[in-house]
């Protein structure tokens, strides 16, 4: 008996922020398109992450007037950086250069992802929850036959373009025979939730706390305040270091909890510990042009190598893909549209990702971390630039490199004087 095969203009596998925003973008740019969105989970579902979203995500939501999903969420107002020898810097989030808002929120992914998915549903996207991607084959006309399944049934779809937004362990990426990132170009992290009744009291405000080269050599840790007493905490290290030093993620997390308690932070009800991989954007797959298939988000290694953040880049990739292909869905120009998307994304973020990868390399050295933080504690431009690497699209220019090199060589006592007279 012939199966009833549903036809789509665009079929997206993975309904996280990247995939859901791609669906939203297609429907807003071309409402006549038939768009399908498939995810193996049933929402709301948890996703291991630091939960922080910054100006980039806000801009992506504002593009189609969807920022209302953030209403009622408390704003983060500063960052606090700790390094070896307990060097600490607290700094207000600067006005970023490329975004309308310099605002940060911390929203558990179980809530955020569900809200964005509901936006996709409201825009007319067909959503299939609880279905896993199985396989795809290409037809002579370049359309794709896609198989998905759940516990009870197998489904088949026909689509003109297939979008892989199915995460760091993307099955679509594997189907395309793209190499996975090497150990140097990915990190392993563990996240947990805790309750802390005194975190805001200790730091005097709602601040994102980062710790570099303390609880883990060549690694970083975080404590991000959400609503009430809820904190998202975690720690990550490059996989290459993790394997070389035979580390254990749970031990790393315990080390960080001890550091928090040593700073006076009350830690209660540790829960939902979960490890995950972060494929850095310092190594991204090159496209296979044999198929009208595009990758976005973690599936395409779009994680900031310095901060580990990936929500903004994935959401922006979804928009850029839709922008470059929505008008050619019914033509033979889909492949060229995917090429244009890849080129636009690369041109926009390549220097930023390379700069973040360089910063990550520098911060793997305890000596360099201490020196950078001492400079930043006396020089506002330096700490602002570090924060813009975390939350904006900043990148190192020749001028910026020379300025930082000069500050590294300058005696500490002269840093404040030099900064004031720039």
Q: Mean pLDDT per 10-residue run, the chain (422 residues)? A: 80 98 98 98 97 94 97 93 88 70 91 98 98 96 96 96 97 94 96 98 94 91 97 96 95 96 97 97 92 98 95 98 97 96 97 94 88 83 83 82 73 52 46
Per the DSSP assignment, residues forming a β-bridge with 232 are 193, 224
Nearest to 323 by CA among 54, 56, 21, 65: 21
Measured distance CA(15)–CA(38) in Å, rounded? 6
Q: CB-side exposure of 265: number of CA atoms within 13 Å?
A: 24
Residue whose tokens read 């990739």: 317
Question: Would you say 193 and 51 are in contact if contact means Cβ atoms under 8 Å apart?
Answer: no
Q: Superfamily for 6-47+110-180+285-356?
A: FAD/NAD(P)-binding domain (3.50.50.60)
The residues, any chain, with a CB within 8 Å of residue 303's CB and separated by 6 or more, are 278, 279, 280, 281, 309, 310, 313
Measured distance CA(248)–CA(255) in Å, rounded? 11
Nearest to 265 by CA among 192, 221, 208, 200: 200
- pLDDT in the model for residue 420: 46
Sign of CA dihedral 246, 236, 15, 348: negative
Q: CB-side exposure of 152: number of CA atoms within 13 Å?
A: 2
Residue whose tokens read 């992914």: 109
Measured distance CA(196)–CA(256) in Å, rounded? 14
Measured distance CA(253)–CA(125) in Å, rounded? 39
The residues, any chain, with a CB within 8 Å of residue 372's CB and separated by 6 or more, are 83, 362, 363, 382, 386, 408
The residues, any chain, with a CB within 8 Å of residue 213's CB and separated by 6 or more, are 83, 84, 219, 220, 363, 364, 365, 366, 369
- pLDDT in the model for residue 59: 93
Measured distance CA(16)–CA(169) in Å, rounded? 14
- Largest Cα separation within the chain, whole Å, is 81
The residues, any chain, with a CB within 8 Å of residue 350's CB and separated by 6 or more, are none
Domain with CATH 3.50.50.60 in the chain: 6-47+110-180+285-356
- pLDDT in the model for residue 57: 95
- pLDDT in the model for residue 99: 66
Measured distance CA(28)–CA(8) in Å, rounded? 16
Strands 154-164 and 144-149: antiparallel
Taking the model in full, what pTM does it have? 0.94
| Span between the terminal Cα atoms of the chain, in Å | 77
């Amino acid at each position: 008996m012939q199966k009833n095969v549903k036809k789509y203009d665009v079929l997206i596998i993975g309904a996280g922020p990247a995939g859901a925003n791609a669906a939203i973008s297609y429907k807003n740019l071309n409402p006549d398109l038939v768009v399908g969105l498939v995810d193996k989970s049933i929402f709301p579902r948890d996703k291991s992450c630091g939960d922080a979203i910054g100006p980039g995500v806000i801009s992506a939501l504002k593009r189609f007037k969807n920022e209302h999903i953030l209403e009622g969420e408390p704003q983060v107002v500063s960052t606090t950086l700790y390094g070896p020898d307990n060097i600490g810097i607290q700094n207000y989030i600067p006005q970023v250069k490329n975004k309308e808002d310099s605002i940060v929120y911390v929203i558990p992914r179980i809530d955020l992802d569900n809200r964005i998915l509901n936006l996709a549903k409201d825009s007319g996207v067909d959503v299939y929850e609880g279905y896993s991607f199985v396989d795809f084959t290409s037809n002579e006309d370049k359309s794709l036959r896609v198989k998905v399944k759940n516990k009870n049934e197998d489904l088949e779809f026909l689509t003109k373009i297939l979008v892989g937004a199915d995460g760091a362990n993307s099955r679509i990426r594997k189907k395309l025979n793209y190499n996975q990132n090497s150990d140097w170009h990915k990190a392993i992290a563990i996240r947990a939730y805790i309750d802390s009744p005194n975190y805001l009291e200790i730091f005097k405000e709602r601040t994102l706390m980062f710790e570099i080269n303390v609880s883990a050599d060549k690694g970083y840790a975080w404590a991000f305040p959400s609503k009430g007493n809820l904190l998202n905490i975690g720690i990550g290290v490059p996989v290459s270091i993790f394997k070389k030093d035979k580390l254990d993620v749970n031990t790393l997390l315990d080390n960080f909890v001890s550091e928090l308690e040593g700073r006076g932070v009350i830690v209660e009800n540790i829960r939902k510990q979960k490890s995950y991989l972060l494929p850095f954007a310092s190594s991204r797959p090159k496209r296979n042009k044999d198929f009208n298939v595009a990758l976005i988000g973690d599936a395409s290694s779009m994680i900031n190598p310095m901060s580990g953040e990936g929500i903004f880049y994935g959401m922006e990739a979804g928009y850029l893909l839709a922008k470059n292909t929505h008008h050619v869905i019914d033509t033979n120009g889909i492949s060229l549209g995917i090429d244009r998307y890849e080129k636009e994304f690369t041109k926009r973020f390549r220097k930023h990702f390379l700069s973040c990868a360089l910063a990550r390399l520098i911060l793997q050295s305890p000596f360099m971390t201490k020196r950078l933080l001492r400079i930043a504690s006396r020089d506002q431009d330096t700490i602002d630039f570090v924060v813009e690497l975390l939350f904006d699209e900043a990148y190192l220019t020749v001028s910026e490199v020379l300025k930082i090199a000069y500050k590294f060589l300058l005696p500490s006592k002269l840093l404040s004087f030099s900064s004031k007279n720039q």
